Every structure is written in structure tokens, then in C-alpha cells.
């Protein structure tokens, strides 16, 4: 049996391995005419972790003479063997306990996993100190599903706060840490559990707000804006229960709600949401803070969408100034500001200046972002559209086809976000 430290990986992978085995055995039944099931086959040995015995069984199955009909299960068997080998070699998540400090280097597409075991109804607060790298943190349940995400600190040096709550039964939460920008240089981080205690009603509401906000983001990625709007609204309600209506900790939830309202064409509601966010952020951290930037960016995007360029222009300029001062002129956050500024200059027929902004945005994206990052895909598409408006259809077509291929690869052919590249 796996060691206790590998329980999350073991439980998560167990379902996937059972599916493999069931499919293999079903195909064998069709080919050989013998009723078989996962429960009555030697193949089941690999489900509880008896890897060597399981490999022997799968290699034996590959030698069964079933004629050409056996070809259709060959790939399933080989895939399962690869799965077994990978599971044996995969590192197991380290266990985090109170006051235990772990420090590691991370870069590129690396992901580091940890476990936090909580008794029923317990609360845990973790801090992740970023040292030269901006990281994103995901919380996964025992089925491997992402439950919540934390990424509030955009600077490469700063602290991420993570708060999690167990349901009404014990649970092992998995903490997954990865670089926010995979092409940036390597950096270090320090993770520690600051406290574990019984959860309060406020703790439970705060974690529920995070869970709903994460689900809303997933619905946006899937193009389901109706459900995203419902989930975003509920996340704000839960956050208000946890923190009250005038707390700056509402800002991330208000940002998601305002963005979803903008996508749904609810511009008045979106404007009110972003104005509320900005007021809370200014009171807490000042106008030039990362927190206030959320509201400024949201309002400028909304005004661009509604064609109110007079209101958008000073906000775009302010947004750019804050980003360059706090994050640097080549930070990926600059991409959105450049895009908004380019739309403004296109509207004024200053196509040369807009082109320079589009090209600068793409250069930053290619240096920092994964090829399937939506921001990068949209940047390629926007530059292609700009060339089209300038009459350079050869360059426009190459860029639009590149953006479309990347978008379809990530989202599929029918996602609403593909409309920007068609």
C-alpha cells in the first residue's frame, strides 16, 4: 500500500487507473468472448498499488493470441503500463504541518504539490513568501478537482495568503504551486502553515467565496457567462458575510463580478461594481496600489467596450503608470493596458501609434506567456486585426490563422472567445 504521504496522489489516480482497467477488460471480453470484470481479474492487482505484479499481468495480456481484433486494445494496455511507470516514479506531495517551513526553487512549467490534513471543521492559514518569482496557488480536493485559487500578489517579491477550511469530515487538501509566468527566470518561495484551529462562520463563508469565485472563472473559460454571473454574485455575497460590506478583501470578488457583468453587457451594473471596488481599494491601500489597479483596469476596459473613450483615456494612462512603477515596463500586466490604448488610438485613426502598441504587447507576451495563454492569443489576434485595418492582408491572415489555431487548441472550435479571432 502507498505510504500515508502519497494518499492524495494515490486516491486521485486510483479512479483513473480503474477506468483504464475497466476499458481494457471490456475490450478483452468483446474479443475473447469471456465475461470479465475489474473485480475478478488479476489486472485489479495494480489498483491497490501492487505495481510489479500489475505490470507482469499487463505484459502477459499483451501476449494473448487474439488475432487482429486484439489490436484495438493494444494502445489501452500500453497506456496503462505508461501510467503505472509514471505513478511509481512520480514524487509524492510533502506534508505541511503547523510551523513547518519549506523553501524551494521553482521555474518554467514546474508544479510543486503539498498536503495539508485537516480534521472536520478545521481552518488553516498558510503563507507563501515569493522571492523573485510570482506564483499562483491552487487548492485541490481528494478527487483532484480545483476548489480555490489564490494569486493576489502580482510582484515577484511579496506574500500570498491562503486560507482553507475542511468540510464536516476530515480532508487532505492538496496545495499546488506553480509560476504565474513560465518564461520568467527561476525564483524561490517559502511556504508555511501559520495556524490550524476550529473554523468560524466567517472562515467558512470566506472559503466558500473563494470556491464560488474559482467556479465562476472556470465557467468563463468554458464560455458559460450566465452561470459565471450567478456564481460571481454568490461569491460576493459570501465574502460580505465573512468580511462585511466595506472591507477591501472584497476586491478580488468584485473584480470577477464586474468583469462578468461587462461580458454580459450589463455595463451600468459593471460600472457600479468597479467603482465600489476602487473606493474600497483606495481607502485600504491608496490610489497607486495593486488593489486599486483592479478597479482602474476594470473601469477602463468597460469604457472601451461602451465606446466612452473620454472616460477611458485617463484611466488607461493611470493604469500604465501604476504598472510600470510597481511591476516594471515589461511585465505582462502591461499587455492589457497597451491593448486598451491601441483601441483608443485606432478610434482616433492614429494607426501608426496603435500598431507600435500592438507590437510591443505581442513582444511582451512572447517573452512571458505560455503559447496557450488567452492574453497572448488575443494579443496575436488583435495585431492581425490591426494589420487588416491597415490593408496589410498577408500579415493579417498569418496572425489570425495563428491565433485561431491556438484558440481552438485550448478551447475547442465553438467557444465564444473564438469570436475575437474569426
- In this prediction, residue 43 has a pLDDT band, given cuts at 50, 70 and 90, of very low
> How high is the mean pLDDT of the chain?
83
Of residues 18 and 174, more confidence is placed in 174
Looking at the structure, do residues 85 and 101 belong to the same domain, yes or no?
no
pLDDT tens-place string over residues 349-397: 999 999 999 999 999 999 999 888 889 999 999 999 999 999 999 999 9
Question: What is the total count of domains within the chain?
Answer: 3
Residue 94: strand, helix, or coil = strand
The continuous run of DSSP H or E covering 123 comes out as strand 122-131
In this prediction, residues 138-150 reach a mean pLDDT of 93
Mean pLDDT of 124-133: 96
Q: Is 158 left (phi over 0), alpha (psi -120 to 50) or beta?
A: left
Q: Are residues 378 and 304 in the same domain?
A: yes
Residues 6+ apart with CB under 8 A from 97: 193
- In a shared domain, residues 214 and 229: yes
pLDDT in tens, 286-342: 999 999 999 999 999 999 999 999 999 999 999 999 999 999 999 999 999 999 999
What is the per-residue pLDDT across 49-76, written as a single tens digit (0 to 9) for each? Answer: 344 444 444 445 545 444 444 444 555 5
Are residues 115 and 10 part of one domain?
no
> Which pLDDT score is estimated for 364?
96
Residue 359, C-alpha cell as written in the block: 507590437
pLDDT at residue 23 in the model: 55
Residues 216 and 246 in one domain: yes
CATH of the domain at 105: 2.60.120.380
**Residue 99's pLDDT band (boundaries 50, 70, 90)?**
confident
Domain boundary (89, 108, 130) is at 89
Kindly report, residue by residue over 254-292, the tens digit of the pLDDT: 999 999 999 999 999 999 999 999 999 999 999 999 999
All residues at 6 or more sequence positions from 132 whose CB lies less than 8 Å from its CB, including other chains:
156, 157, 185, 186, 187, 188
Q: What is the pLDDT of residue 7?
A: 38
For residue 113, what are the contacts with CB-CB under 8 A and spacing of at least 6? 8, 9, 93, 94, 174, 175, 176, 177
Write the CATH number for 228.
1.25.40.10
Whether 35 has a pLDDT exceeding 50, the answer reads: no
Q: What's the pLDDT tens digit per position in 185-222?
A: 999 999 999 999 999 999 999 999 999 999 999 999 88
Residue 399 has pLDDT above 80, yes or no: yes
pLDDT at site 14: 46
Confidence at residue 408, expressed as pLDDT on a 0 to 100 scale:
87
> Pick from 148, 179, 199: which residue ends a domain?
199
Asked whether residue 238 falls in the same domain as residue 351, the answer is yes
Q: Which pLDDT band, with edges at 50, 70 and 90, does 410 fall under?
A: confident
- pLDDT score of 78: 52
- What pLDDT score was predicted for residue 422? 52
Confidence band, pLDDT 50/70/90 cuts, at residue 45: very low
> How large a percentage of the chain has pLDDT more than 90?
69
Q: Given 178, 199, 220, which residue is the final one in a domain?
A: 199
Report whether pLDDT(418) > 80. no
Question: Minimum mean pLDDT among 167-171, 183-187, 220-224, 231-235: which range?
Answer: 220-224
Picking from 394, 308, 392, 403, the residue whose alpha carbon sits closest to that of residue 351 is 392
How does residue 85 score in pLDDT terms, banded at 50, 70 and 90?
Answer: low
Mean pLDDT calculated for residue range 240-260: 97
Q: How far apart are CA 60 and CA 102, in angstroms?
A: 44
Residue given cell 471596488 in the structure block:
277
C-alpha cell at 76: 489501452
Same domain, 308 and 405: yes
List % helix, strand, coil for the chain (3-state, nearest 5): 60, 15, 25
Report the candidate in 342, 407, 404 with the shortest Cα–Cα distance to residue 373: 407
Q: Is 243 exposed, middle or buried (0-12, 13-18, 19+ CB in 10 A)?
A: middle
This prediction has a pTM of 0.76
Residues 109 and 177 in one domain: yes
CA contacts within 13 A on the Cβ side of 407: 27
Instruction: Say yes or no: 254 and 349 in one domain.
Output: yes
Judge if 287 and 380 occupy the same domain: yes
Q: What whole-number distance in Å separates Cα of residue 1 and Cα of residue 293?
A: 50
For the beta sheet containing 135-140, the strands, ordered from the edge strand earlier in sequence to the opposite edge, are 94-95, 112-118, 171-179, 135-140, 146-150
Is residue 400 located within the same domain as residue 346?
Answer: yes
Q: Which domain holds residue 261?
A: 206-420
293 and 413 share one domain: yes
Amino acid at each position: 500500500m502507498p505510504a500515508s504521504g502519497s494518499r492524495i496522489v494515490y486516491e486521485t489516480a486510483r479512479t483513473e487507473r480503474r477506468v483504464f482497467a475497466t476499458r481494457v477488460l471490456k475490450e478483452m471480453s468483446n474479443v475473447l468472448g469471456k465475461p470479465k470484470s475489474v473485480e475478478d481479474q488479476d489486472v485489479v492487482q495494480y489498483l491497490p498499488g501492487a505495481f510489479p505484479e500489475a505490470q507482469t499481468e499487463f505484459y502477459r495480456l499483451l501476449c494473448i493470441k487474439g488475432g487482429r481484433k486484439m489490436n484495438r486494445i493494444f494502445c489501452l494496455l500500453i497506456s496503462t503500463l505508461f501510467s503505472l511507470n509514471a505513478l511509481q516514479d512520480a514524487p509524492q506531495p510533502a506534508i505541511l504541518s503547523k510551523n513547518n517551513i519549506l523553501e524551494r526553487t521553482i521555474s518554467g512549467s514546474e508544479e510543486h504539490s503539498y498536503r495539508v490534513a485537516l480534521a472536520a471543521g478545521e481552518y488553516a492559514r498558510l503563507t507563501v513568501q515569493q522571492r523573485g518569482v510570482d506564483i499562483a496557488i491552487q487548492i485541490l480536493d481528494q478527487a483532484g478537482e480545483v476548489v480555490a485559487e489564490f494569486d493576489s500578489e502580482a510582484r515577484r517579491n511579496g506574500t500570498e495568503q491562503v486560507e482553507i477550511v475542511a468540510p464536516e469530515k476530515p480532508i487532505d487538501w492538496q496545495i499546488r504551486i506553480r509560476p504565474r509566468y513560465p518564461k520568467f527566470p527561476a525564483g524561490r518561495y517559502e511556504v508555511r502553515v501559520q495556524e490550524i484551529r476550529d473554523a468560524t462562520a466567517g472562515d467558512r463563508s470566506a472559503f466558500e467565496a473563494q470556491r464560488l469565485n474559482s467556479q465562476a472563472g472556470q465557467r468563463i473559460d468554458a464560455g458559460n457567462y450566465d452561470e459565471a454571473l450567478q456564481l460571481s454574485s454568490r461569491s460576493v455575497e459570501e465574502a460580505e458575510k465573512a468580511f462585511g460590506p466595506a472591507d477591501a478583501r472584497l476586491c478580488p470578488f468584485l473584480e470577477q463580478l464586474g468583469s462578468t457583468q461587462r461580458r454580459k453587457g450589463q455595463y451600468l451594473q459593471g460600472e457600479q461594481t468597479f467603482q465600489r471596488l476602487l473606493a474600497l481599494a483606495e481607502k485600504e491601500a491608496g490610489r497607486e496600489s495593486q488593489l486599486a489597479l483592479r478597479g482602474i483596469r476594470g473601469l477602463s476596459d468597460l469604457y472601451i467596450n461602451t465606446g466612452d473613450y473620454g472616460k477611458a483615456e485617463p484611466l488607461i494612462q493611470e493604469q500604465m503608470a501604476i504598472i510600470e512603477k510597481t511591476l516594471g515596463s515589461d511585465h505582462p500586466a502591461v499587455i492589457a493596458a497597451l491593448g486598451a490604448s491601441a483601441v483608443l488610438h485606432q478610434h482616433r485613426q492614429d494607426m501608426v501609434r496603435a500598431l507600435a502598441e500592438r507590437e510591443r504587447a505581442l513582444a511582451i507576451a512572447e517573452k512571458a506567456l505560455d503559447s496557450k495563454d488567452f492574453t497572448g492569443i488575443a494579443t496575436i489576434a488583435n495585431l492581425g486585426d490591426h494589420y487588416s485595418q491597415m490593408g496589410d492582408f498577408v500579415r493579417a491572415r498569418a496572425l489570425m490563422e495563428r491565433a485561431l489555431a491556438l484558440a481552438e487548441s485550448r478551447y475547442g472550435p465553438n467557444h465564444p472567445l473564438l469570436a475575437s479571432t474569426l
